[in-house]
Amino acid sequence: MMWVLVTICIAALAALLGQRLLKLSEIALANREVPVKRLPNCQLLKNIEYGAEDFTILRDGLAIISTGLKYPGMPSFSDDPGKIYTLDLLDPRLIPVELTIKGDLDRDSFNPHGISVYIDETDKTIHLFVVNHPQHYTSQVEIFLFVEEDNTIVHLKTIKHDLLHSVNDIVAVGVESFYATNDHSYPSAVLHMLAVFLGLPWADVVYYSPGGVKAVGDGFLSANGINMSPDKRYLYVSAILDHEIAVFEIKKNKDLVHVKSVAVGSLCDNIEVDQVTGDLWLGCHPNGAKVAVYDPEDLPGSEVIRIQDIHYEKPVVTQVYADDGSVLIGSSVAAPYEGKLLIGTVYHKALGNVTNPNSAIVSGCPRTLL
């Protein structure tokens, strides 16, 4: 009788294991392939060789770019510290400019991830918020003052908190206040992978201010990109492993109320919001297994998705760009500006689509650019 019970238990565990492995394959979109859909008049940006994981575009067309991320579980092709660049999208040459970092910051361990800016309306100063992983699995938020005329960022403050244990992205709402996503349920990668394996949605969104810190949104297997509507009433969060964008209403006490989720059919990373139309632009991974493993013979692809009318009953979800990895590997962020489209990646290059074909490589960024 004992052997019968043991056999039943082993069979049940094997069935559970098989079911969860199948589910993980579905979560990673491991069998997904997307047809190539490139844009004309585009070029790979100079100086960006090891990723442009996130960026934000100011109203004057100046993009601030986070580069050189070394993220646990992802490939990395450089041991150099991360850097912050600017890119003038009104300049047809599209040449990134490295910013000088001043102040009390360990530059050797600088490992920037998600970024956001807050413009103080009282004096128009620009505060740059950067998620930093100085020891890979650690997370902290750096606040800088951006001095555009000097191409400089001055370090003002480092923020650490137990609730900010696995920060991926950030959206600033004050000179020292922000919402942030934790992409892990636990600081421990092993415990997080166990939670994902078991389907436990324990990753969350955290609100930080000098007056207090609190978890304000949960129910995520992994919370990734985050951004805010132009009227500052709604927060958008990428539930990357659920292939959805979650929409939250922001309450007066900074708590979040879930409004809806919009299916996007891809593993979408960072979210950028068009400040005029309110459209969401998403840098996505069409196949998560490929982007994590990185096989030179079967390269990870890239995908850009746009969501229009997200607050309507039937939002319009459109694929704008798709590549099989022969041009752009592992897209993580995308945004338009006056007819141009800028696309960043986790650990590869960055791509700009330009309006003047005489100033850039044309015909959809041919493979020879690599």
pLDDT score at 292: 86
CA distances from 234 to 33, 108, 229, 245 (A): 33, 37, 5, 12
- Burial of residue 266, with CB atoms counted within 10 A of its CB: 0-12 exposed, 13-18 middle, 19 or more buried: buried
Q: Cα(293)–Cα(297) distance, rounded to whole angstroms?
A: 11
- pLDDT in tens for each of the 370 residues of the chain? 666 665 666 665 665 566 667 777 898 999 999 999 988 888 899 889 999 999 999 999 999 999 999 988 788 888 899 999 999 999 988 899 999 999 999 999 999 999 999 999 899 999 999 999 998 789 999 999 999 999 999 999 999 999 999 999 999 999 999 999 999 887 777 887 788 878 889 999 999 999 999 999 999 999 999 999 999 999 999 999 999 999 999 999 999 999 999 999 999 999 999 999 999 999 999 999 998 888 999 999 999 999 999 999 999 999 999 999 999 999 999 999 988 899 999 999 898 876 533 333 222 333 222 2
DSSP letter for 151, please.
Answer: T
> How far is it, in rounded angstroms, from Cα 49 to Cα 52?
8
Neighbours of 286 (CB within 10 A): 25
Q: Which residues are annotated as a binding site for Ca(2+)?
A: 53-54, 115, 168-169, 224, 269-270
For the chain, the straight-line distance linking the first and the last C-alpha, in angstroms and rounded, comes to 64
Give the integer Cα–Cα distance in Å for 92 and 302: 24
pTM for this entry: 0.91
User: Across-strand partners of 316?
Assistant: 308
Query: Two tokens at 42?
Result: 């585009």
| Burial 83-116, CB ≥16 within 10 A → b, else e | bbbbbebeeeebebeebebeeebeeeebbbbbbb
pLDDT of residue 366: 31
Known catalytic residues are 113
CA angle 203, 205, 210 (to 5 degrees): 135
Position 74 scores a pLDDT of 83
The strand pairing partners of 295, in sequence order, are 298
Q: Which residue type does 232 have?
A: K
Calculate the dihedral angle through the C-alpha atoms of 236, 69, 157, 206, rounding to the nearest 10 degrees. Answer: 30
Annotated binding site: 53-54, 115, 168-169, 224, 269-270
| Residue 5: per-residue pLDDT | 65
- Position 14 scores a pLDDT of 60
Do 222 and 184 meet the contact criterion of CB atoms below 8 Å apart? yes
- The per-residue pLDDT for 352 is 84
